[in-house]
Amino acid sequence: MRGGHKPPPAMPTVYLLRHGESVLQRTRSLLLQVGGIQLAGCKSLLADALDELATLAPDIVACDLRLVDSHAMRAAHELGRLPVRPQLLLLTPTADDLQLFAALSAGANAYHVDDGSAAGLVEALARLHERRAMLSPQLARQALAAFGIERSPLAIARQAPAALDASPAGRQIDQASRHLLTLLAQGLLLAEVATLWKLDVAEIERRIWRTVRLLHVRSRELLIA
């Protein structure tokens, strides 16, 4: 059965961190022109943004994977030290960047493939504000490896009951999440997974968002160990 409709959350406040002044101003202009997003501030240097981030407490920080003075993993670490931690949306020219999974594991919540034009960014911000995310096949394979689990048998993962399997698949992850990562690693689109599992695409995205959060738990445990 498909999930019921939920009212959209309030307009998110967004802080921009981009690797150059020209792309920063282009993205800033775009966000100021559209509805549904409140721009809290913007900077091209992480060092210049930290005090503002603590004061403004935005809902989301949209940050390039690489900055002039830093990188997204450092940004995730600094955001984790704030009294109220904003969600972190990574902006990357490709989903195949080797640093992308490391940044997601370190505390980022989602990513958006951006060629510098900021096309689709508003939709990505709205998706993240609703606690929805996506994972490429490569990232799904990396997540399975990070959790120390193998792919599910595809014939089982494709069945609708797989979405309801709450039995453990590892220390942090249940079988339903393992099945989801298996389907994504296989290259299935979100709409295809939703059809197989008889769920809305938004519910699949929410499950991916929660799985990324589990990567954060795993990373913290590794730091403590």
The count of C-alpha atoms lying within 13 angstroms of the C-alpha of 175, restricted to the half-sphere facing its C-beta, is 16
Mean pLDDT for all residues in the chain: 92
Q: Please, which pLDDT band fits residue 118 given cuts at 50, 70 and 90?
A: confident
Q: How far apart are CA 107 and CA 14, in angstroms?
A: 17
Question: Cα dihedral angle (103, 189, 165, 3), rounded to 10 degrees?
Answer: 100
Residue keyed to tokens 């704030």: 82
Residue 5: the pLDDT is 47
Plot region of 118 (φ>0 → left; ψ -120 to 50 → alpha; else → beta): left
Residue keyed to tokens 């022109």: 33
Bridge partners, 134 (sequence order) = none
Mean pLDDT over 64-81 rounds to 95
Q: Are 14 and 58 in contact (CB under 8 A)?
A: yes
Domains of the chain: 13-129 (3.40.50.2300), 137-224 (no CATH)
Q: What is the pLDDT of residues 171-181, one digit of tens each?
A: 889 999 999 99
Q: How far apart are CA 179 and CA 169, in angstroms?
A: 10
Q: How far apart are CA 187 and CA 135, in angstroms?
A: 10
Residue keyed to tokens 């606690």: 131
User: Which element (helix H / strand E) includes 91?
Assistant: strand 87-92
Q: How far apart are CA 188 and CA 185, in angstroms?
A: 7
Q: How far apart are CA 208 and CA 225, in angstroms?
A: 26
pTM: 0.92
Bridge partners, 174 (sequence order) = 168
